[in-house]
Amino acid sequence: MNRFRVLLTGIILIWVLFSSVQAEAGENLIFINGQELVTQPTAFLENNRLLIPFRAIFEAVGARVYWDEQLRKITAIKNEITLEMTLGSRTAYINGQQIELDVFPQIVEGRSFVLLRFVGETLGYTVNYDQANRWVFINEQGVSFGPQEAKKQVALKNTVYGIKVGDSAVHVIGQLGQPARMDAIDLGFTWWVYNQDYANYVQIGIKDNKVVALFTNAASLQLNDLKIGSSLTEIKKQYSFDSALTFSLQGATFRINPVNDNRYLAIQGVTAYIFYMDIHQENTLTAIRMVDLETLVLFRLYPYSFSYMVEPWVAKFVTRGPIINQTNQAYALQIFDLTNAIRYRFNLPPLIWHQGLSQVTLGHSSDMEENNFFAHISPTTGSPFDRINSARIKYRTAGENIAMGQSDAGEAVIGWMNSLGHRTGILNHHFTHLGVGVIGTRETNRFYTQKFIGN
């Protein structure tokens, strides 16, 4: 167990780490009263002393923080305690009393870092360290959050509905039960669809009995402390969107631009996180996708380049055969479900599947593909209303959304919701029924049509 050297009657704690810790891999996790402090960059070691992001940690315990650019001085005030430090200096002051630091404050990636001992400045706080897991616990009086509690919390980190990429199919069933539907698609995995309750709608991609993908736009979506309506600023506190991401896969090095059409890509370990933003809700979070790196490349959600000695198979993957029709049918059903999950969020009743409309929409998608056009008005079948009338479907009001080239159902629905005219159709309270038709392939273009009616 590490020991503390105590100064100023136990108020200031110095954190001393054994030299072996510096060679360990991974990051130090900091928990304040049971809540993980998420910062970018995170804590790091300097001369066997743990340095922490100054502003983040003091604001987390309720202190006011000030920065004097001219003097390069940091000031933190909590209750009756004032702490002052200057970058590059080992001298600090607490309520005017001078102390000498083992490591001077410094700037890393635009953040001020100081010794962990200064969190002990807040009266009543204790600091403990779990060296095996590299966990730091900062607790005020009366809080007893430690390794056992942290293990449970860490197990749920970066999960949605308790699921993360790499989990077993057995774990998914244990968390969510049996899916309502299993949709095999052309990327080599099967979507397990949980549409029993649109408030908790989620799709889990399973391949070889492992989770390789997850997508949800449900009202109850939560990833750590992120949820529907979270701002981009809040997301960036936990996930970094660099100008370009690189990763290794199947002997090749891939390079991807992480920002594309109001969706932001972050990679942590072997998992890619895609955050979809709603531009009509102040650019706030509206959906999340999690995939492994192989699936990220197969989906072609982002333009990428790669270098290799032997070309990776994911770059040559081509879909053929009956799975193409199965995929298109799956995407039609998923568009129906995702539309209803959106409507639930806006307090609208779910739409009812209309098989006759689905045949009409499939016909229009096929018409656009075969005759090489993209429009609501067809040279052969006329307007959306002409097509409904030709099918002898009764209605009082109707509408149609079309899309082309999106990678899957989730991409199509998000795209419609970020287009004001299409969004109006999805959120129209007069509509009661929906039909969806999808045609095309991964290698060419997919055409998506959804048609609404109200009776």
> Does residue 151 sit in the same domain as residue 13?
yes
CATH number at residue 381: 3.40.33.10
**Is residue 65 one of the residues assigned to a domain?**
yes
Record the tokens describing residue 404, joined without a space. Answer: 């082309």
Given 292, 315, 338, which residue is the final one in a domain?
315
> What stretch of H or E contains 226?
strand 226-227
Q: Domain of residue 82: give its range.
A: 4-155
The Cα 302–Cα 313 span in angstroms is: 18
pLDDT digits (tens, 9 = 90+) for 200-233: 999 999 999 999 999 999 999 999 989 999 999 9
Domain termination site, one of 100, 125, 155: 155
Rg (CA), the chain: 27
Q: What is the pLDDT of residues 67-109, one digit of tens each?
A: 888 888 888 887 888 888 888 888 888 888 888 877 777 777 6
Q: Are residues 183 and 49 in the same domain?
A: no
Q: What is the CATH number of the domain that holds 104?
A: 3.30.457.10
What is the helix (H) or strand (E) element at residue 172, kind and residue range? helix 169-176
Question: Region 307-334: what's the mean pLDDT?
Answer: 85
Is residue 335 domain-shared with residue 258, that is, in the same domain? no
Burial of 4: CB neighbours in 10 Å, binned 0-12, 13-18, 19+: middle
Residues 130 and 116: their CA atoms lie apart, in Å, by 14
For every residue of 233-246, DSSP letters joined together read HHHHTT----SSEE
Q: Does some domain include residue 51?
A: yes
Give residue-wise pLDDT tens across range 253-266. 888 888 777 999 99
Q: Are residues 240 and 268 in the same domain?
A: yes
Instruction: Clarify whether residues 122 and 249 are in a common domain.
Output: no
Based on the fold, state whether residues 42 and 115 are members of the same structural domain: yes
Burial of residue 29, with CB atoms counted within 10 A of its CB: 0-12 exposed, 13-18 middle, 19 or more buried? buried
Counting every residue, how long is the chain? 455
HSE-up (13 A, CA, CB side) for residue 120: 19
Q: What is the domain count for the chain?
A: 3
Angle between helix 323-345 and 355-371 (nearest 10): 120
Angle at 148 between CA 135 and CA 202, to 5 degrees: 90
Residues 425 and 331 in one domain: yes
Residue 163 lies in a domain: no
Tokens of 123: 């009266």
Q: Report the SS3 class of residue 297.
A: helix
Element holding 35 (H helix, E strand): strand 35-37
Residues 71 and 211 in one domain: no
Residues 17 and 70 in one domain: yes
Has residue 46 got a pLDDT over 70? no
User: What is the secondary structure of 68-137 as a DSSP string?
Assistant: ETTTTEEEEEETTEEEEEETT-SEEEETTEEEE-SS--EEETTEEEEEGGGGGGSTT-EEEEETTTTEEE
Contact 428, 452 (CB under 8 A): yes
Residue with tokens 């689905």: 358
- Answer yes or no: is 160 within a domain: no
Same-domain pairing of 27 and 64: yes
Q: Are residues 127 and 177 in the same domain?
A: no
Span 287-317, pLDDT tens digits: 999 999 999 998 888 888 888 777 777 777 7
pLDDT for the residue numbered 372: 96
Q: How far apart are CA 212 and CA 119, in angstroms?
A: 40
Specify the pLDDT at position 6: 28
Claim: this prediction has a pTM higher than 0.85: no
End-of-domain residue from the set 315, 339, 372: 315
Give the model's pLDDT for residue 119: 57
Is residue 18 located within the same domain as residue 126? yes
Q: What are phi and psi of 168, to 5 degrees?
A: -80, 160
Residue type, 442: R
